[in-house]
Structure 1
Amino acid sequence: MIGQSPLRTVIAHAVLILGILIVAFPIYYTFVASTQTLQTILRPPLPLLPGDQLWNNYSEALFGGVGRIGGVSVGRLLLNTTIMALGIAVGKIFISILSAYAIVFFRFPLRMTFFWLIFITLMLPVEVRILPTYKVMVDLGMIDTYAGLIIPLIASATATLLFRQFFMTIPGELVEAARVDGAGPWRFFFDILLPLSRTNIAALFVILFIYGWTQYLWPLLVTNSSNMNTIVIALRKMVSFADADTQWHLVMVTAMLAIVPPILVVVLMQRWFVRGLVDSEK
């Protein structure tokens, strides 16, 4: 173990505490603003201690209607965003693990060609294919639907690549043993590969859930109704160019509620997330 002097330990802890304060203070300040009245927020400086409007502001946002977003409650926005984020994360993992399984364990013509075609899509950002994708959604009648929010974003070349690299580390003896025991392709997949991949799946789920939660451009295009807006879109709509026209206390409440689900996912799955990044469990 590398020895450290007391001075270095103090400096290291001071730097860590300073970093935490820099990151956490804007979040704390947002929380403080979410507990104040609109008049208090519009009269700077904002107090550094929480106000007495916490219950009123949060209940108004969650269960009442916010005027600038069509009278839709933040509770509905959270529901829309949760469905979208879960659908994207589960869909990406499901499609990616099956495609990686086919590429690694099956031998068929043009197998590597298909893999490289999938890999090349990493170089095509969403903005490049946004117009044809939107045209397809319009033709299929998927505007203002959960399917329209989720389906165009569930393909993932990155997840396919990561699963492929993991599957390639599976010992050939394990595959042969499963074949000798009479395990078919689906039994091998469900009884062997899935248990071995659970930490990888957990790590990808955290990343992909946050990816889906923070989407802005695609939900902005594919939703016209306020009832189908996500919370990120609603935050932008709630802010007006004139401070007096913006319900800043509700904006701050919405901002605080928007970061709670991703934080919960990271905290609850932290152990699996770290193991999925550093442990192969083979």
Structure 2
Amino acid sequence: MVERTRRLDIACHGLLILGGLLVCLPIYFAFVVGSHTTSDVLSVPPPWLPGGRFLENAQMAWQKGNLGRLLLNSLIVAAGIAVGKIAVSLLSAFAISYFRFRYRMTAFWLIFVSLMLPVEVRILPTYEAVTNVALPLQWAIDWLDVGSWIGWLTGRRMEVALEWNMMNSYGGLILPLIASATATFLFRQFFLTVPEELCEAARIDGASPMHFFRHVLLPLSLSNMVALSIILFLYGWNQYLWPLLFTTEKDMATAVIGLKNLIPQSDAEPAWNVAMNAALLVMLPPALVVVALQRWLVKGLVDSGK
């Protein structure tokens, strides 16, 4: 039994309010800086109350940083990563949990061990693989010496060279990041809590594995899927290293990369008001996603009845 007293309630609410203020202080500072002119921001002491130039600075940040295009790129990349991770993780967890095949647990532990290999560790082989997706097929063609076979059939030897470069494309930004060991592990743990009687009943009714997956497991996993989708959307939105290395065209960059380009350099005008205003604009879409789906997030992560 949890004891509730007035003093304890006041202390807990005071700590929550203090923590909320500390979290919101940087956001408020960015809003204040983003609503003043450059000279006001550089004054000593700096202003602590909002100014009247917020909309003008927002328009300047939008045009100078090409944020319209970059926000669209970030939205497509983040949504693609979230959907791809959920789809791949659901299917892999379903296969590991319900199919009995040799080395099933070995496959699961190999997936789980990949948690120790973040993007930063495998960035070079991933970059090489995406810049030429057809490289494994090229190795097979060279090993089979397909050019000699073509020469034997046509009387003229031909060199077969395949190249498929996915740089500066949405596919190249999304596909290398859609594998998720964490989501696979979480879905597998949830599938293990599903009563075995449901699977047996579906088998008796003549349902195929995919029918059982689609009509039984997916509805039961809805809250988990939405909660993980929010987290994975934020993960895709905040990606920095992979888009920085993989995009060479300005129109294919993401909003985080565009925000980095707006940060004043040593030899440029210290337009911190524009940079802070752009930071608020870049932060707004993921914040709206979390606020709109916070009930699903809490239900999927802490609901004991899931």
- Among 71, 75, 78, the alignment partner of 1:85 is 78
The CA deviation at 1:43 is 2.3
Q: Which residue number corresponds to residue 138 of structure 1?
A: 131
The CA deviation at 1:280 is 5.9
- 1:280 and 1:101 map into 2 onto residues whose CA distance is 22
Cα RMSD after superposing both structures: 1.7
Q: CA contact under 8 A between 2:38 and 2:270: conserved in structure 1?
A: no
Where does the alignment leave 5 or more consecutive residues of structure 1 unmatched? 67-71
- 1:138 and 1:44 map into 2 onto residues whose CA distance is 50
Q: Which residue number corresponds to residue 164 of structure 1?
A: 188
> Aligned residues, how many?
275
Partner secondary structure for residue 175 of structure 1: helix
Give TM-score, length-normalised by structure 2: 0.85
The CA deviation at 1:281 is 4.6
Partner secondary structure for residue 176 of structure 2: helix
Q: Which residue number corresponds to residue 31 of structure 2?
A: 31
Where does the alignment leave 5 or more consecutive residues of structure 2 unmatched? 133-163
- 2:124 and 2:270 map into 1 onto residues whose CA distance is 32
Alignment of 1:240 with 2:264, yes or no, is yes
One-letter amino acid matched to 2:45: P
Matches within 5 A, 1:96-245: 96-139=89-132, 140-242=164-266, 244-245=268-269
Q: Structure 1, residues 10-63: CA drift from partner, whole Å, max 9, x if none?
A: 33322222211111111011011111122222223332222211222222323x
One-letter amino acid matched to 1:182: G
Q: Which residue number corresponds to residue 277 of structure 1?
A: 301
| Higher alpha-carbon deviation: 170-179 or 30-39 | 30-39
| Higher alpha-carbon deviation: 81-90 or 244-253 | 244-253
One-letter amino acid matched to 2:88: I
* Closer/same/farther in 2, CA of residues 160 and 2 from structure 1, 3 Å limit: closer
The CA deviation at 1:248 is 1.8
One-letter amino acid matched to 1:237: N
- 2:11 and 2:105 map into 1 onto residues whose CA distance is 52
Give TM-score, length-normalised by structure 1: 0.91
- 1:270 and 1:136 map into 2 onto residues whose CA distance is 37
- 2:5 and 2:165 map into 1 onto residues whose CA distance is 66
Alignment of 1:51 with 2:44, yes or no, is no
Q: CA contact under 8 A between 2:264 and 2:272: conserved in structure 1?
A: no
- Among 253, 268, 271, the alignment partner of 2:277 is 253
Mark the structure with the bigger radius of gyration.
Answer: 2
The CA deviation at 1:247 is 2.5
- 1:231 and 1:121 map into 2 onto residues whose CA distance is 28
